[in-house]
Amino acid sequence: MKQSVYPIAVMNESVDIEAVRAEALRKLGRNIVNFSKIEAVFKYLLTVSQLDGSGKTISEQLRRNQTRLRKQTLGKLVQEFNKNILGDASQSEPTPDFSGAGISLSFNVTYNNPDFLKLQKRTLASIVAERNKLIHQDLAFIDTSSVEDYHNLITLLDEQNPRLLAQLEDLRRIIESLREGLKAFEDLSKSPDFLQSIQSNQSNQSNA
């Protein structure tokens, strides 16, 4: 009696699609996590990018910024980052406007080359476009019974992830520079020479 190979073929096909589906979902999760990390860094940088006032009001500003940014989309975050943080080094910075005793903390990422600045902004905008396309098109229209569709998705995700990692590395360097600047200021403020200089200036002003 001749035995049919059809059940074996169906079983192999089922195993194949389960394996490729698992691989696609693993890499999808990886990329979505990296998109989420990028979004979280933007929220952090925008939260602390411009603060002024007294110690108490700055704490309140931080809370307000966190609340405002918590539900912002990646697209909105990138727009605000491009507008308020990225800039041309030749452009003069505005002076914070507040009266009375207080402090002002702000930072910008500036470039001497306007063309490179434009490239950086386009790169960030393309990250947003990739994220939206992945969620709203690539996933929305995938045929979950198609091995080929899953293979195509895996290829797309593998091509995309290095760009996400590169963006995360750029943002990591910005955060590292910010932290180094704050640490340098903290060290300077604790220096005896700095305190003596402040006291000397105050004395000179009172005697003027």
Which one has a higher pLDDT value, 7 or 180?
A: 180
Task: Give percent of the chain with pLDDT exceeding 90.
Answer: 51
Local confidence band at 74 (pLDDT 50, 70, 90 cut-offs) = very high
- C-alpha closest to that of 181 among 191, 170, 173, 192: 173
Helices and strands, counts by H and E, the chain? 6, 4
Please give the average per-residue pLDDT across 116-135, as a whole number: 94
Local confidence band at 46 (pLDDT 50, 70, 90 cut-offs) = very high
| Interatomic CA distance for residues 158 and 152, integer angstroms | 10
pLDDT, averaged across the chain? 82
In sign, the C-alpha dihedral spanning 188, 192, 194, 195 is positive
Q: What is the pLDDT of residues 95-113, one digit of tens each?
A: 555 455 556 777 788 888 8
pLDDT of residue 51: 78
- 52 and 33 in contact (C-beta within 8 Å)? no
53 φ/ψ sector (left φ>0, alpha ψ -120 to 50, else beta): left
Domains of the chain by residue range: 7-178
Q: What is the pLDDT of residues 77-89, one digit of tens each?
A: 999 999 988 887 6
pLDDT of residue 11: 44
pLDDT of residue 9: 45
- 86 and 138 in contact (C-beta within 8 Å)? no
Q: What is the pLDDT of residues 57-70, one digit of tens each?
A: 888 888 998 999 99
